[in-house]
Structure 1
């Protein structure tokens, strides 16, 4: 059981690090978008590569932080039954949901996007826009990063659920405790 806690903690730490790093892209998005607007309206000029850049930064950020959002329980869900449920019931819902829905869907995303990403890498795909940015293949790789990070966090959720259902909630990593997630959400 201690091993499950260590696995969940390691995965959660990885996704927390990804979230901390890639959240900074939001600052880049704001700066680039602001620059595009100022250039367009104040100087009557624009650059296609800059428009590509803020769209690509947005895509990279939102796909890279998918696992982090799952770690923080920040995904949208209809939870009129989940939120007031006991810790054990939440553990059952997370366990079944991760095994039946989350992991199979992430497998499908990886299986279907792998050829798409590999093809893009094979010819170093760039922007379809004339004057756009090179390196679209890197952005497309974020699809795999998204699916991998979310799948790993799903495995961490399974570990957390098993620990709680096995009566070893004390081994659940601090970041993944239901009571702390609810408290953090209430403060936000």
Structure 2
């Protein structure tokens, strides 16, 4: 049950966030048109697209893990028997992934709260608030951590990737 809930949350977030790519592509096209066709470049497009891309990139971590799209080093594990491979992968989550995800989540949260308290903005002609992107990092880290829990449970319980009812 918990595996399905976590998978469904990250699947939904991934599908929603993927729309951001269309938004920042449209802004880039608009900016290029304004710059070259009308000789009137925008002052805000670069900063906005940079923040949208950052948001897009970090928020898809849990979705990517759910679909096994992260970089993996299978040179060692591919030669192992399936049972041994499962336990090596489970140990990898415990030794490497969970500590990393925990530190990423807690430090990102502190980073975001400090940015919010300081009213941090971008450096440029248009000063955009930075804290929403930093808060997205903390949310993304939490989504990555819970998706790691789901993947760990799948390994330990010997379950294949579970389909998400869309």
Please, what TM-score do these two structures have when normalized by structure 2?
0.88
Matches within 5 A, 1:114-125: 114-125=109-120
Partner of 2:154: 160
Q: How far apart in 1 are the matches of 2:14 and 2:80?
A: 28
Cα distance change on mapping 1:128 and 1:161 into 2, 3 Å: same
Q: Where in structure 1 are there 5+ consecutive unaligned residues?
A: 1-5, 177-188
Q: What's the CA shift for 1:82?
A: 3.8
**Does residue 44 of structure 2 align to residue 49 of structure 1?**
yes
Deviations 1:19-74 (A, max 9, x none): 01001111112111111111111122222321111111111111111000000000
**Does residue 145 of structure 2 align to residue 151 of structure 1?**
yes
Matches within 5 A, 1:17-96: 17-83=12-78, 86-96=81-91
Q: How far apart in 1 are the matches of 2:81 and 2:22?
A: 38
**Does residue 140 of structure 2 align to residue 141 of structure 1?**
no
Contact between 1:9 and 1:173, CA under 8 Å: does it hold in 2?
no
Contact between 2:106 and 2:138, CA under 8 Å: does it hold in 1?
no
Deviations 1:77-127 (A, max 9, x none): 232344565543442233111111111001111232222211111133222
Q: Where in structure 2 are there 5+ consecutive unaligned residues?
A: none
Q: How far apart in 1 are the matches of 2:18 and 2:81?
A: 32
- Cα RMSD (Å) of the superposition? 2.0
Partner of 2:6: 11
Cα distance change on mapping 1:162 and 1:40 into 2, 3 Å: same
Please, what TM-score do these two structures have when normalized by structure 1?
0.79
